[in-house]
Structure 1
Amino acid sequence: MSQITIEPATPDRLADAQHTWDNGGDGRSCQCQWWTITNAEWNATSAEERVHLFRDEVETGPPPGLIAYVDREPAGWVRVGPRPHQRRLARTRNFAAHSLEPWDDESVWAVSCFVVRREHRGQGLNDRLLAAAVDYARDGGARVIEAYPLDPVRGAKKSSSSLFHGVVSTFVAAGFREVARPRPDLAIVTLELAG
């Protein structure tokens, strides 16, 4: 039985976050900056510059995500934090038009990205990462968590790399409720943590 632990992405774990992204998908070039910068900023930065943006984000704190470890090896990642810090979310038409929460509300947190290394897929790490993200958000003072998962049942078959948003069934199983369906294969889900 593998030992699974989940820890915040602190400065001493920068290399571990990098390790979770270098095994398929766009993680290595994205550096989990897609949601934090505008499209113009994205197009103006190189992958190396995004490495520095992520490093600065982690060193400034608070941790912008959590790292899953399987037997002490970095195996997965989830981005979770106050939604206003993930600026592209408010600029994404499918989200902006359908969210029920004000975009400048720091008590609304977002879970926006998952990565699991290929050799650790199929072990339920997304479920574990989401549960830890909910606890982390609650401890951080979140009132609501919002996410934007895909629904592969209602859309064309998706590659594992394109499922970085997570899937609807994972969020529903964790107690999230669907509040909008901007596209047949895309949902907005929320979980209320406090009144």
Structure 2
Amino acid sequence: MSIDVRPAAVFEDVKALIGPKRPDASVCWCLSYRIPSTLNNAMRGHERGEYVARLLEEGPLGVLAYDGDTPVGWAAIAPRSATTFARNRKIPHVDDLPVWSLWCIRVRPGHRGRGISHDLIEGAVAFAREQGAPAVEAYPLDNGGAKVDLTMAYAGLRANFEAAGFRHAADTTSVLSGHPRVLMRRDLD
């Protein structure tokens, strides 16, 4: 199996990974950290997908992993300043470097356990580097090897980021699914 990671620019492919099974469902669409919470909480059903389609007109929203022509994985990445992490009180700022945030990794059922999350992390880092990012931050779960509910594993796992060359940069006060999140960073210079 050869996985190709590309900028997430095709709406139907993005929809296949983060859109709902039912078009009227109000799923995340990976908007919760990308837009202000008041706007995120106000949108329902079709509005969410339409909003993502408009955002894609401005450029990629992250990266997608493909197995052939089939999108099988997603990673959200953007400048931290363009996300709610810019104002998040639970996730600290390490310094004033204009870092990019990598906050969501999703692999389609049936494709998990093949290392695609590792491909997505590397692809997201490469995308950020191409856009001029000096560093990438992630805020994964520090689960210490404990099982994590897949619904809440979207933040990624500390071990996966360590394997990708990220280093622990700070603790946070954020907790998901009973596990603390840590701030991991990979410098790109």
1:68 maps onto 2:58 in alignment: no
1:192 maps onto 2:187 in alignment: yes
In the aligned structure 2, how far is the partner of 1:38 from the partner of 1:46? 15
| Conserved? CA contact 1:80–1:137, under 8 Å | yes
1:171 maps onto 2:161 in alignment: yes
In the aligned structure 1, how far is the partner of 2:7 from the partner of 2:85? 22
**Which digits, 9 at most, give the CA deviation of each residue in 1:105-157, with x for residues without a partner?**
6x311101111111110010110000111111111100111110012227x74
In the aligned structure 2, how far is the partner of 1:68 from the partner of 1:28? 24
| Conserved? CA contact 1:30–1:47, under 8 Å | no
In the aligned structure 2, how far is the partner of 1:125 from the partner of 1:191? 19
| Conserved? CA contact 2:13–2:71, under 8 Å | yes
In the aligned structure 1, how far is the partner of 2:95 from the partner of 2:36? 20
List alignment gaps of at least 5 residues for structure 1: none
Structure 1 counterpart of 2:3 = 4
Structure 1's 23 and 153: CA in aligned 2 closer, same or farther, altered over 3 A?
farther
- CA RMSD in angstroms, aligned pairs only: 2.1
Question: By how many angstroms is 1:71 displaced?
Answer: 3.0
Counterparts of 1:98-137 in structure 2, within 5 Å, are 98-102=92-96, 107-137=98-128
Question: By how many angstroms is 1:158 displaced?
Answer: 2.3
**Which digits, 9 at most, give the CA deviation of each residue in 1:17-68, with x for residues without a partner?**
11123589xx97111111111222222111321212211111111x111111
In the aligned structure 1, how far is the partner of 2:30 from the partner of 2:19? 12
In the aligned structure 1, how far is the partner of 2:140 from the partner of 2:58? 28
Given the alignment, which residue of 136, 148, 170 partners 1:158?
148
TM-score of the superposed pair, with normalisation by structure 2 = 0.87
Structure 1 counterpart of 2:176 = none
Identity of aligned residues (%): 32
May I ask how many residue pairs the two structures share in their alignment?
181
Structure 1's 67 and 180: CA in aligned 2 closer, same or farther, altered over 3 A?
same
Structure 2 counterpart of 1:92 = 88
More helix by share: 1
In the aligned structure 1, how far is the partner of 2:105 from the partner of 2:144? 19
